[in-house]
Structures are given as structure tokens and as C-alpha cells.
Amino acid sequence: MRVVVGIEGRLEIRDIPELGAPTGSQILVETVACGICGSDVHLMDHTEAYLGCARDSGSTAMIFDPARGVMLGHCFVFRVLAAGPDAVGFAPGDLGAGLGTVTGADGHTSVVGFSDTYPGGYAERMLLSTPGLVARLPDGMDPLHAVFVEPLIVGEMSVRTAAIPDGAPAVVLGTGQVGLGIVAALRRHGRGPVVAAEPTELRRAAALAAGADIVVDVHTRSWLDGLAESGATLPPTVFDTTGIAGMLARLFTEVPRHSHIVEVSGQYDPDPIRTGLAVKKNLRLTFSASADPAALRTVLAALAAREVDVEPWITRRVTLDEVPAAFDDLRAPDKTIGIVVEPGKGR
């Protein structure tokens, strides 16, 4: 079967042996679709720095051998082909989505999409372990919309973690998929006013549609102008999704006193900050990258109810052969929000 492998900063389409029958609590699935995440592009551009962070985190679930290459794709939708004897929650024919892991016979667990052993969502088929952080799609839901489950979970968890007081403003820097997920979660939780700052016209329009009250073109205005326009008087919570080196240090200077900064993107390379400045301004800094079953249920229900319309987020649908070019497009995202890979098409 065919799979996309990232190796030495480039992408290859490889043919690998078919996966065996699922054992234990595993399920064998075919990939219906997989969204290309900006974090995949970042990983390919900074592989060694990523691996250094993964090793230093103390977890082995997202470490791979760069000489073998990584089988990418973690924002996937799948259809179950077969279930192991101890599989939980799935039967053949079920559609599902989520953040997948797989545990092998040696007991080692890998996060699907960050492994050199198990195929990810840019492959025709995958093995997943159950129960895990995967769930069946609600009846009637468009399967392609579920490729945005991961950024919506990130948004849900970030807003929960932020614990924004009533009436306090929220600022979202960058409205790619994760930023849009945060805007949607802020609306779901009744937080705001919401100010979104974004350089591209396409993504600014998407932020307005997702529920932002004020959208700022960072080429012409500062997000601080949008904050002033909101009329809010309480200190803001500022979500950084930009992935720009030096942004945290810049925010320490820019934000008002008593602000809360929630870092959602982060840097794999060292990114110096002035802690003394943060102390003098009484700032709070939170890092958010978690997920849980409750968040998965929340975002699946929101997608099924069309609470957030993600159809406009699908800029293009591509085959496995078109994935390398799609990565290049996401490096210049002025005309792109989400690119969806459909591994079963194009052959």
C-alpha cells in the first residue's frame, strides 16, 4: 500500500507491505481523508529541533528515527475494515476520527502520524488502538469535516485552560486552523469580546465567520488597536498561534499589565524571553497542548450540529501524489486554510 514518508526535509511516496490483521484491541482502518496540519510542515522544516524537544519531554510516543523517515498525518478520518477481538467501540464499517495511537506487541505506544513504524493519515490504511482518543462520527455528519477535529480540540482545550473571566477580552493571534478552532471555542464558551489578528484576507474572513467580533489586518494595524476598539477594560487573554520566533518576547513588551498569554504554537528552537519584564508586568503565561475524551465529544457534536461551519476551511482536496506540492503551498498560506488528502483517490 502507499504512504507518504517525510525524510531529510522532503516527502516521498512509498509502497510498503500491507498491514496485518488487527490483534488485541486494535482496529484496521482505511483512511477516508486527512488534513495537512501546519505542525507537519513545521516538523519537516525543523526535524532535528522537533526530535530534541520530543526527547527532552520524557515521552517516547512521538519519537522516530529520522534516517527511516516519519509516516505523517494525524488529522484523519477513517472507516473500520476489521476489529481485533478486544477492540472497544468500533465495528467494521464505522466511521471515526480523533487523535490516534497504536500499541504494538512489544508494549510500546506510538502516536499515529509521528511514527517510523506505523502508517499515519497520509496512507491508504492504518492500525489504531482502542479505546484511545478516537470516536465514531455522529450519524449524518460529513466525514470530510472531521479532518478538523484536531485543531478544534486544540481550541477547546486552550480556552478551557485559559479560564477567561466573564467580560474579559480574548485576542487570537493567527487564524489558521488552530486559531479558528480557538475562535470557535471562545464563542462556544461565551467568552469575549474576541479580537483576531491575521495577515491573510482569506483567514481573516474565516475568523469573522467563526465568531470573532473584530478582525485586524496586521499589515495595517496592531492587535492592540483591535483591543482598544473592543472597549474592553479587563486585562486580555492573548492566544499565540503564530509559530513566529521571538513572538513571546514581543508579547511580553506589547501586552497590558496583568495579561494572560496562552502559547499554543511554540518553537522547537530556543526562544529567549525576559522573565523580569513579565514579573514587573504581573503577566501569566500558560502552555496548552492537551486533549481529552470530553473535548473530542464536544467538537464532534459541534461539527455534527454545524455549530461551526468548517466547509469553507477546505481550500483544496488532493491525492497522495499531490501531498509534496500541498506542503509547499502551506508554507505560503495567503490562499490556503486547509488542504485535505484523500488517499483512496488518484490511482
Same domain, yes or no: 174 and 227: yes
Q: Is residue 48 part of a domain?
A: yes
Same domain, yes or no: 131 and 165: no
Q: At residue 333, does pLDDT exceed 80?
A: no
Q: Is residue 143 part of a domain?
A: no
As a whole-number percent, the residues of the chain with pLDDT over 70 amount to 100
pLDDT for the residue numbered 289: 81
Phi then psi for residue 278, to 5 deg, are -60, -40
pLDDT for the residue numbered 330: 87
Helix (H, G, I), strand (E, B) or coil at 191: coil
- Concatenating the DSSP letter of every residue in 45-74 gives HTHHHHHHHHHHTT--TT---TTT-EEE--
pLDDT in tens, 237-263: 999 999 999 999 999 999 999 999 999
Q: At residue 347, does pLDDT exceed 80?
A: no
Same domain, yes or no: 101 and 179: no
Q: Give the DSSP letter of residue 147.
A: G
Q: What is the CATH number of the domain that holds 183?
A: 3.40.50.720
pLDDT for the residue numbered 176: 95
Residue at 253: amino acid letter: T
As a whole-number percent, the residues of the chain with pLDDT over 90 amount to 91
Domain count, the chain: 2
pLDDT in tens, 188-219: 999 999 999 999 999 999 999 999 999 999 99
Segments forming the whole domain that contains residue 121 = 2-136+310-341
Separation of alpha carbons 83 and 101, rounded Å? 15
Helix (H, G, I), strand (E, B) or coil at 133: strand
Same domain, yes or no: 14 and 47: yes
Mean pLDDT of the chain, nearest integer: 95
The pTM of the full predicted model, rounded to 2 decimals, is 0.96
